[in-house]
Structure 1
Amino acid sequence: MQPHPCLENWVKIANITKKKALVIGCGLGDDSEILAQYKANVTAFDIAPSSIEWCQKRFNNSSVNYLVADLLNLDNSWKNSFEIIFESRTIQALPITIRKEVIEAIATLLKPGGTLLIVTRLRDTEDTIDGPPWPVSEAELSQFSEYGYQEINRIPYIDTNNPSVKQALIEYQRN
Structure 2
Amino acid sequence: MPEQLPEQLREKVQQLALDYQQQGKPTEWFESLYQQAQGDPAQIPWAKLSPHPILQDWLDQSQISGQGKTALVIGCGLGDDAEILSDLGYQVTAFDISETAINWCRQRFPNSKVNYVVADLLALDPNWKGNFNFVFECRTIQSLPLNLREKAISAIAQLVAPKGTLIVITGFRETEDPPKGPPWPLSEVELSLFKAFNLEEVKRISFTVPQSEALHQLRLEYLKQ
**TM more than 0.5:** yes
| Bigger radius of gyration | 2
Count how many residue pairs are aligned between Structure 1 and Structure 2.
Answer: 175
Q: Which residue of 80, 83, 98 corresponds with 1:48?
A: 98
Cα deviation code 1:51-86 (max 9, x no counterpart): 001100000000000000001111110001110000
Q: Decide which of 149, 154, 162 is 1:112's aligned counterpart.
A: 162
The letter for the 1-side match of 2:218 is: A
Q: Is the 8 A contact 2:70 2:91 kept in 1?
A: yes
Superposed displacement of residue 154, structure 1: 0.6
What is the match of residue 198 of structure 2? 148
Local SS of the residue matching 1:127: coil
Asked if 1:7 corresponds to 2:52, the answer is: no
Moved more, 82-91 or 159-168: 159-168
Q: Which deviates more from structure 2 when the two are superposed, residues 65-74 or residues 12-21?
A: 12-21
Give the superposition deviation at 1:33: 0.5
| Residue 23 of structure 1: aligned partner | 73
Asked if 1:100 is matched to 2:150, the reply is yes
Query: Is the CA contact 1:11–1:38 (under 8 Å) kept in the aligned structure 2?
Result: no
CA distance in 2, matches of 1:35, 1:122: 25
- TM-score between both structures, scaled by the size of structure 1: 0.96
Which residue type is aligned with residue 143 of structure 1?
L
The letter for the 2-side match of 1:170 is L
5+ residue gaps, structure 1, are none
Greater share of residues in helix: 2
Question: Corresponding residue for 1:72?
Answer: 122
Runs of 4+ that moved beyond 3 A: 160-164
The match for 2:186 is 136
Alpha-carbon RMSD across the aligned residues, in angstroms, is: 1.3
- In 2: Cα distance, 1:17 partner to 1:146 partner: 30
CA contact (8 A) 2:138 2:170 kept: yes
Cα 1:39–1:139 shift into 2, 3 Å: same
Cα displacement string for residues 104-125 of structure 1 (whole angstroms, at most 9, x for unaligned residues): 0101111110000000000111
Task: Give the conservation status (yes or no) of the 8 Å contact 2:183–2:213.
Answer: no
In the aligned structure 2, how far is the partner of 1:132 from the partner of 1:16? 34
Deviation at residue 90 of structure 1 after TM alignment: 0.1
Gaps of 5+ in 2: 1-48
Q: Which has the higher contact order (CA 8 A, sep 6+)?
A: 1
TM-score scaled by structure 2? 0.75
Corresponding letter in the other structure for 2:161: K
Partner of 2:107: 57
Aligned to 2:210: 160
Q: 2:175 aligns with which of 97, 107, 125?
A: 125
